[in-house]
Structure 1
Amino acid sequence: MSDALSQLDDAALAKLAVRDDHAFEALVNRHAAGVHRLAANTVGSGAADDVVQEVFIAVHKGLKGFRGEAQFSTWLHRITLNACYKALQARQNIPFEDVLEPPAPHSPVRSSEQADIRDRLAAALQSLPQEQREAVTLREISGLDYAEIAAVTGAELGTVKSRINRGRAALREWLTQAGLKP
Protein backbone atom coordinates (compact mmCIF):
# COMPACT_ATOMS: atom_id res chain seq x y z
CA MET A 1 0.00 0.00 0.00
CA SER A 2 1.47 3.33 -0.97
CA ASP A 3 2.11 5.88 1.75
CA ALA A 4 -0.38 8.32 0.24
CA LEU A 5 -3.18 5.74 0.28
CA SER A 6 -2.32 4.44 3.74
CA GLN A 7 -2.74 7.96 5.13
CA LEU A 8 -6.35 8.22 3.94
CA ASP A 9 -9.23 7.33 6.21
CA ASP A 10 -11.71 4.67 5.14
CA ALA A 11 -14.31 7.12 3.82
CA ALA A 12 -11.84 8.89 1.55
CA LEU A 13 -10.33 5.61 0.44
CA ALA A 14 -13.79 4.21 -0.35
CA LYS A 15 -14.61 7.22 -2.55
CA LEU A 16 -11.33 6.86 -4.37
CA ALA A 17 -11.71 3.07 -4.68
CA VAL A 18 -14.76 3.50 -6.94
CA ARG A 19 -12.39 4.39 -9.78
CA ASP A 20 -8.93 3.41 -8.51
CA ASP A 21 -7.92 -0.25 -8.17
CA HIS A 22 -4.97 0.65 -5.95
CA ALA A 23 -7.31 2.37 -3.49
CA PHE A 24 -9.59 -0.67 -3.49
CA GLU A 25 -6.58 -2.91 -2.86
CA ALA A 26 -5.63 -0.65 0.06
CA LEU A 27 -9.13 -1.08 1.54
CA VAL A 28 -8.92 -4.84 1.12
CA ASN A 29 -5.47 -4.97 2.74
CA ARG A 30 -6.65 -2.79 5.62
CA HIS A 31 -9.77 -4.84 6.41
CA ALA A 32 -9.19 -8.39 5.12
CA ALA A 33 -7.86 -9.79 8.40
CA GLY A 34 -10.85 -8.50 10.40
CA VAL A 35 -13.33 -9.73 7.81
CA HIS A 36 -11.64 -13.14 7.80
CA ARG A 37 -11.66 -13.33 11.61
CA LEU A 38 -15.37 -12.52 11.75
CA ALA A 39 -16.15 -14.98 8.94
CA ALA A 40 -14.06 -17.76 10.50
CA ASN A 41 -15.86 -17.33 13.80
CA THR A 42 -19.24 -17.33 12.13
CA VAL A 43 -19.00 -19.96 9.38
CA GLY A 44 -15.79 -21.81 10.30
CA SER A 45 -12.25 -21.48 9.07
CA GLY A 46 -12.85 -23.84 6.15
CA ALA A 47 -15.49 -21.57 4.61
CA ALA A 48 -14.05 -18.23 5.70
CA ASP A 49 -11.88 -17.69 2.62
CA ASP A 50 -14.89 -18.07 0.32
CA VAL A 51 -16.91 -15.67 2.45
CA VAL A 52 -14.10 -13.09 2.42
CA GLN A 53 -13.98 -13.31 -1.35
CA GLU A 54 -17.76 -12.82 -1.57
CA VAL A 55 -17.55 -9.88 0.84
CA PHE A 56 -14.99 -7.99 -1.19
CA ILE A 57 -16.78 -8.72 -4.45
CA ALA A 58 -19.92 -7.24 -2.87
CA VAL A 59 -17.92 -4.28 -1.54
CA HIS A 60 -16.44 -3.59 -4.97
CA LYS A 61 -19.88 -3.73 -6.58
CA GLY A 62 -21.45 -1.61 -3.86
CA LEU A 63 -18.86 1.14 -3.50
CA LYS A 64 -20.68 3.42 -5.92
CA GLY A 65 -23.71 3.28 -3.67
CA PHE A 66 -21.78 3.80 -0.42
CA ARG A 67 -22.81 7.30 0.67
CA GLY A 68 -20.69 7.48 3.79
CA GLU A 69 -23.69 8.04 6.07
CA ALA A 70 -22.36 5.20 8.23
CA GLN A 71 -18.75 4.36 8.86
CA PHE A 72 -17.16 2.19 6.21
CA SER A 73 -16.37 -0.45 8.85
CA THR A 74 -20.04 -0.61 9.88
CA TRP A 75 -21.10 -1.10 6.26
CA LEU A 76 -18.37 -3.72 5.80
CA HIS A 77 -19.41 -5.67 8.92
CA ARG A 78 -23.02 -5.76 7.70
CA ILE A 79 -21.90 -7.08 4.30
CA THR A 80 -19.72 -9.65 6.07
CA LEU A 81 -22.54 -10.87 8.30
CA ASN A 82 -24.89 -11.09 5.31
CA ALA A 83 -22.30 -13.16 3.40
CA CYS A 84 -21.82 -15.38 6.46
CA TYR A 85 -25.55 -16.01 6.79
CA LYS A 86 -25.79 -16.78 3.09
CA ALA A 87 -22.96 -19.32 3.46
CA LEU A 88 -24.60 -20.85 6.53
CA GLN A 89 -27.92 -21.18 4.76
CA ALA A 90 -26.22 -22.90 1.84
CA ARG A 91 -24.46 -25.31 4.14
CA GLN A 92 -26.99 -25.78 6.97
CA ASN A 93 -24.48 -27.61 9.23
CA ILE A 94 -21.47 -25.93 10.78
CA PRO A 95 -18.71 -28.28 11.95
CA PHE A 96 -17.91 -26.95 15.39
CA GLU A 97 -14.23 -27.75 15.05
CA ASP A 98 -13.95 -25.20 12.23
CA VAL A 99 -15.48 -22.25 14.04
CA LEU A 100 -12.43 -20.88 15.84
CA GLU A 101 -8.88 -20.61 14.59
CA PRO A 102 -6.52 -22.45 16.92
CA PRO A 103 -3.48 -20.68 18.28
CA ALA A 104 -0.13 -22.12 17.30
CA PRO A 105 0.33 -25.33 19.31
CA HIS A 106 3.21 -25.52 21.74
CA SER A 107 2.96 -29.21 22.46
CA PRO A 108 0.80 -32.15 21.43
CA VAL A 109 -0.91 -32.22 24.82
CA ARG A 110 -1.56 -28.49 24.80
CA SER A 111 -2.76 -28.68 21.20
CA SER A 112 -5.27 -31.36 22.17
CA GLU A 113 -6.46 -29.30 25.14
CA GLN A 114 -6.81 -26.22 22.94
CA ALA A 115 -8.79 -28.18 20.36
CA ASP A 116 -11.13 -29.44 23.08
CA ILE A 117 -11.66 -25.93 24.47
CA ARG A 118 -12.15 -24.57 20.95
CA ASP A 119 -14.77 -27.26 20.23
CA ARG A 120 -16.63 -26.50 23.45
CA LEU A 121 -16.54 -22.75 22.86
CA ALA A 122 -17.78 -23.22 19.30
CA ALA A 123 -20.63 -25.40 20.55
CA ALA A 124 -21.45 -22.82 23.22
CA LEU A 125 -21.55 -20.02 20.62
CA GLN A 126 -23.80 -22.10 18.38
CA SER A 127 -26.19 -22.67 21.27
CA LEU A 128 -26.95 -18.94 21.47
CA PRO A 129 -29.86 -17.41 19.60
CA GLN A 130 -28.68 -15.75 16.38
CA GLU A 131 -29.09 -12.18 17.71
CA GLN A 132 -27.02 -12.91 20.81
CA ARG A 133 -24.38 -14.85 18.85
CA GLU A 134 -24.08 -11.98 16.37
CA ALA A 135 -23.76 -9.33 19.08
CA VAL A 136 -21.26 -11.33 21.16
CA THR A 137 -19.18 -12.19 18.08
CA LEU A 138 -19.08 -8.57 16.91
CA ARG A 139 -18.03 -7.45 20.40
CA GLU A 140 -15.60 -10.17 21.41
CA ILE A 141 -14.16 -11.26 18.06
CA SER A 142 -14.37 -8.11 15.94
CA GLY A 143 -13.84 -5.73 18.85
CA LEU A 144 -16.65 -3.36 17.90
CA ASP A 145 -18.07 -1.04 20.53
CA TYR A 146 -21.76 -1.11 21.41
CA ALA A 147 -22.70 1.82 19.15
CA GLU A 148 -20.97 0.19 16.18
CA ILE A 149 -22.78 -3.09 16.86
CA ALA A 150 -26.08 -1.20 17.00
CA ALA A 151 -25.30 0.37 13.63
CA VAL A 152 -24.32 -2.97 12.07
CA THR A 153 -27.31 -4.89 13.40
CA GLY A 154 -29.90 -2.13 13.23
CA ALA A 155 -30.82 -2.74 16.88
CA GLU A 156 -31.16 -0.10 19.59
CA LEU A 157 -28.13 0.45 21.83
CA GLY A 158 -29.95 -0.92 24.88
CA THR A 159 -30.95 -4.02 22.92
CA VAL A 160 -27.34 -4.60 21.90
CA LYS A 161 -26.18 -4.31 25.51
CA SER A 162 -28.90 -6.70 26.62
CA ARG A 163 -28.05 -9.24 23.91
CA ILE A 164 -24.38 -9.18 24.81
CA ASN A 165 -25.10 -9.47 28.53
CA ARG A 166 -27.52 -12.37 28.01
CA GLY A 167 -25.18 -14.03 25.52
CA ARG A 168 -22.22 -13.82 27.88
CA ALA A 169 -24.32 -15.21 30.74
CA ALA A 170 -25.54 -18.09 28.57
CA LEU A 171 -21.98 -18.81 27.40
CA ARG A 172 -20.72 -18.77 30.99
CA GLU A 173 -23.47 -21.19 32.08
CA TRP A 174 -22.96 -23.48 29.08
CA LEU A 175 -19.18 -23.60 29.54
CA THR A 176 -19.49 -24.18 33.29
CA GLN A 177 -21.85 -27.10 32.66
CA ALA A 178 -19.34 -28.40 30.11
CA GLY A 179 -16.66 -28.48 32.81
CA LEU A 180 -14.78 -25.31 31.88
CA LYS A 181 -14.19 -22.27 34.03
CA PRO A 182 -14.95 -19.23 31.85
Structure 2
Amino acid sequence: MRDERAFEALVTRHAPGVHRLAAVTVGPGAADDVVQEVFIAVHRHLKSFRHDAAFSTWLHRVTLNACHKALAARQSLPLAEGPEPAAPHDPARAGEQAQVRERLSRALATLPREQREAIALRELSGLDYAEIAQITGAELGTVKSRIARARAALREWLLAAGVTP
Protein backbone atom coordinates (compact mmCIF):
# COMPACT_ATOMS: atom_id res chain seq x y z
CA MET A 1 0.00 0.00 0.00
CA ARG A 2 2.82 2.38 0.87
CA ASP A 3 4.56 1.59 -2.44
CA GLU A 4 1.34 2.37 -4.31
CA ARG A 5 1.05 5.77 -2.63
CA ALA A 6 4.70 6.52 -3.33
CA PHE A 7 4.28 5.58 -6.98
CA GLU A 8 1.12 7.70 -7.20
CA ALA A 9 3.07 10.66 -5.78
CA LEU A 10 5.85 10.03 -8.31
CA VAL A 11 3.34 10.05 -11.18
CA THR A 12 1.63 13.19 -9.89
CA ARG A 13 4.96 14.99 -9.62
CA HIS A 14 6.50 13.94 -12.94
CA ALA A 15 3.55 13.37 -15.32
CA PRO A 16 3.21 17.00 -16.47
CA GLY A 17 6.87 17.19 -17.52
CA VAL A 18 6.73 13.79 -19.20
CA HIS A 19 3.60 14.90 -21.05
CA ARG A 20 5.23 18.16 -22.26
CA LEU A 21 8.23 16.27 -23.61
CA ALA A 22 6.04 13.64 -25.24
CA ALA A 23 3.73 16.25 -26.80
CA VAL A 24 6.67 17.98 -28.46
CA THR A 25 8.22 14.73 -29.62
CA VAL A 26 5.18 12.76 -30.82
CA GLY A 27 2.49 15.43 -30.94
CA PRO A 28 -0.28 16.29 -28.51
CA GLY A 29 -2.63 13.59 -29.79
CA ALA A 30 -0.24 10.74 -28.97
CA ALA A 31 1.28 12.21 -25.81
CA ASP A 32 -1.23 10.65 -23.41
CA ASP A 33 -0.45 7.17 -24.72
CA VAL A 34 3.27 7.80 -24.38
CA VAL A 35 2.85 9.04 -20.80
CA GLN A 36 0.95 5.87 -19.97
CA GLU A 37 3.69 3.72 -21.52
CA VAL A 38 6.37 5.64 -19.63
CA PHE A 39 4.79 5.10 -16.24
CA ILE A 40 4.05 1.45 -16.98
CA ALA A 41 7.75 1.03 -17.77
CA VAL A 42 8.77 3.02 -14.69
CA HIS A 43 6.51 0.93 -12.48
CA ARG A 44 7.86 -2.28 -13.99
CA HIS A 45 11.53 -1.29 -13.68
CA LEU A 46 11.66 1.06 -10.70
CA LYS A 47 13.02 -1.59 -8.33
CA SER A 48 15.91 -2.25 -10.70
CA PHE A 49 16.81 1.47 -10.94
CA ARG A 50 20.47 1.52 -9.86
CA HIS A 51 20.85 5.22 -9.02
CA ASP A 52 23.84 5.48 -11.40
CA ALA A 53 22.20 8.70 -12.57
CA ALA A 54 19.57 11.02 -11.16
CA PHE A 55 16.02 9.70 -11.29
CA SER A 56 14.97 12.57 -13.58
CA THR A 57 17.73 11.65 -16.03
CA TRP A 58 16.52 8.05 -16.13
CA LEU A 59 12.89 9.17 -16.46
CA HIS A 60 13.72 11.45 -19.40
CA ARG A 61 15.56 8.60 -21.13
CA VAL A 62 12.57 6.29 -20.59
CA THR A 63 10.31 9.02 -21.99
CA LEU A 64 12.45 9.51 -25.11
CA ASN A 65 12.56 5.76 -25.66
CA ALA A 66 8.75 5.59 -25.44
CA CYS A 67 8.50 8.51 -27.86
CA HIS A 68 10.80 6.80 -30.37
CA LYS A 69 8.73 3.61 -30.08
CA ALA A 70 5.51 5.58 -30.70
CA LEU A 71 7.02 7.38 -33.70
CA ALA A 72 8.23 4.11 -35.18
CA ALA A 73 4.77 2.59 -34.76
CA ARG A 74 3.20 5.63 -36.40
CA GLN A 75 5.41 5.28 -39.49
CA SER A 76 3.21 2.45 -40.74
CA LEU A 77 -0.06 4.32 -40.06
CA PRO A 78 -1.71 7.07 -42.11
CA LEU A 79 -0.84 10.65 -41.15
CA ALA A 80 -2.25 11.67 -37.79
CA GLU A 81 -4.71 14.48 -37.36
CA GLY A 82 -3.47 17.95 -36.46
CA PRO A 83 -2.93 19.19 -32.93
CA GLU A 84 -5.79 19.18 -30.47
CA PRO A 85 -7.53 22.52 -29.98
CA ALA A 86 -6.87 24.58 -26.88
CA ALA A 87 -9.35 24.57 -24.01
CA PRO A 88 -11.99 27.21 -24.80
CA HIS A 89 -11.66 29.74 -21.95
CA ASP A 90 -11.56 32.76 -24.21
CA PRO A 91 -12.36 31.57 -27.73
CA ALA A 92 -10.27 34.20 -29.51
CA ARG A 93 -7.25 33.67 -27.24
CA ALA A 94 -7.63 29.89 -27.34
CA GLY A 95 -7.68 30.00 -31.13
CA GLU A 96 -4.51 32.09 -31.25
CA GLN A 97 -2.76 29.79 -28.79
CA ALA A 98 -3.82 26.73 -30.75
CA GLN A 99 -2.41 28.27 -33.94
CA VAL A 100 0.90 29.10 -32.30
CA ARG A 101 1.13 25.59 -30.79
CA GLU A 102 0.33 24.06 -34.16
CA ARG A 103 3.00 26.13 -35.89
CA LEU A 104 5.52 25.38 -33.18
CA SER A 105 4.70 21.68 -33.42
CA ARG A 106 5.21 21.78 -37.19
CA ALA A 107 8.46 23.69 -36.76
CA LEU A 108 9.75 21.19 -34.21
CA ALA A 109 8.83 18.33 -36.53
CA THR A 110 11.18 19.77 -39.17
CA LEU A 111 14.18 19.49 -36.85
CA PRO A 112 16.46 16.47 -36.87
CA ARG A 113 15.60 14.12 -34.00
CA GLU A 114 18.74 14.98 -32.00
CA GLN A 115 18.02 18.71 -32.16
CA ARG A 116 14.32 18.24 -31.33
CA GLU A 117 15.20 16.12 -28.28
CA ALA A 118 17.85 18.54 -27.06
CA ILE A 119 15.67 21.64 -27.39
CA ALA A 120 12.70 19.89 -25.76
CA LEU A 121 14.79 18.70 -22.83
CA ARG A 122 16.20 22.21 -22.35
CA GLU A 123 13.17 24.40 -22.94
CA LEU A 124 10.31 22.18 -21.81
CA SER A 125 11.93 20.04 -19.15
CA GLY A 126 14.26 22.77 -17.92
CA LEU A 127 17.29 20.50 -17.83
CA ASP A 128 20.78 21.91 -17.92
CA TYR A 129 23.23 21.06 -20.67
CA ALA A 130 25.11 18.48 -18.59
CA GLU A 131 21.90 16.59 -17.79
CA ILE A 132 20.92 16.60 -21.47
CA ALA A 133 24.36 15.27 -22.38
CA GLN A 134 23.94 12.46 -19.88
CA ILE A 135 20.45 11.55 -21.14
CA THR A 136 21.34 11.63 -24.82
CA GLY A 137 24.87 10.25 -24.52
CA ALA A 138 26.24 13.23 -26.45
CA GLU A 139 29.20 15.39 -25.53
CA LEU A 140 28.44 18.68 -23.76
CA GLY A 141 29.63 20.76 -26.73
CA THR A 142 27.45 18.71 -29.07
CA VAL A 143 24.41 19.37 -26.88
CA LYS A 144 25.10 23.11 -26.89
CA SER A 145 25.51 23.04 -30.66
CA ARG A 146 22.29 21.08 -31.20
CA ILE A 147 20.32 23.51 -29.06
CA ALA A 148 21.80 26.55 -30.79
CA ARG A 149 21.06 25.08 -34.23
CA ALA A 150 17.54 24.09 -33.16
CA ARG A 151 16.81 27.60 -31.86
CA ALA A 152 18.07 29.17 -35.07
CA ALA A 153 16.06 26.78 -37.25
CA LEU A 154 12.92 27.30 -35.17
CA ARG A 155 13.30 31.07 -35.29
CA GLU A 156 13.74 30.97 -39.08
CA TRP A 157 10.80 28.61 -39.61
CA LEU A 158 8.45 30.53 -37.34
CA LEU A 159 9.35 33.90 -38.86
CA ALA A 160 8.72 32.46 -42.34
CA ALA A 161 5.34 31.19 -41.07
CA GLY A 162 4.45 34.68 -39.86
CA VAL A 163 4.95 34.13 -36.13
CA THR A 164 6.72 37.13 -34.64
CA PRO A 165 8.26 37.31 -31.17
Which residue type is aligned with residue 46 of structure 2?
L
Which residue type is aligned with residue 72 of structure 2?
Q
2:14 aligned residue: 31
2:133 aligned residue: 150
The answer on whether the counterparts of 1:149 and 1:160 sit within 8 Å (CA) in structure 2 is yes
CA distance in 2, matches of 1:146, 1:57: 28
Which residue type is aligned with residue 98 of structure 2?
A
**Within 5 A, what are the aligned runs for 1:59-138?**
59-92=42-75, 93-98=79-84, 102=86, 104-138=87-121
Q: CA deviation at 1:74?
A: 0.3
Q: CA deviation at 1:109?
A: 2.8
1:14 aligned residue: none
The answer on whether the counterparts of 2:29 and 2:83 sit within 8 Å (CA) in structure 1 is no
Structure 2: which 5+ residue stretches go unaligned? none
Q: CA deviation at 1:136?
A: 0.5
The answer to whether 1:180 aligns with 2:160 is no
**Within 5 A, what are the aligned runs for 1:17-28?**
20-28=3-11
CA distance in 2, matches of 1:55, 1:142: 15
- Indicate which of 18, 25, 42 corresponds to 1:42: 25
How many pairs does the alignment contain? 162
Give the secondary structure class of the aligned counterpart of 1:70: coil
1:4 aligned residue: none
CA distance in 2, matches of 1:72, 1:22: 18
Which residue type is aligned with residue 96 of structure 2?
E
Higher relative contact order (CA 8 A, sep 6+): 2
**Alignment CA distance shift 1:139-1:95 (3 Å):** farther
The answer on whether the counterparts of 1:38 and 1:141 sit within 8 Å (CA) in structure 2 is yes
CA distance in 2, matches of 1:170, 1:94: 24
> Deviation per CA, 1:58-86, whole angstroms, max 9, x where unpaired?
11121222110100000000000110111
CA distance in 2, matches of 1:88, 1:161: 25
Give the secondary structure class of the aligned counterpart of 1:97: coil
> Deviation per CA, 1:108-134, whole angstroms, max 9, x where unpaired?
333322222222111111111110011
Residue range with higher mean Cα deviation, 109-118 or 49-58: 109-118
- Indicate which of 43, 53, 57 corresponds to 2:40: 57
Q: CA deviation at 1:96?
A: 4.4
Report the TM-score, using the length of structure 2 for normalisation: 0.88
> Deviation per CA, 1:85-118, whole angstroms, max 9, x where unpaired?
11111112454424xx84x555333332222222
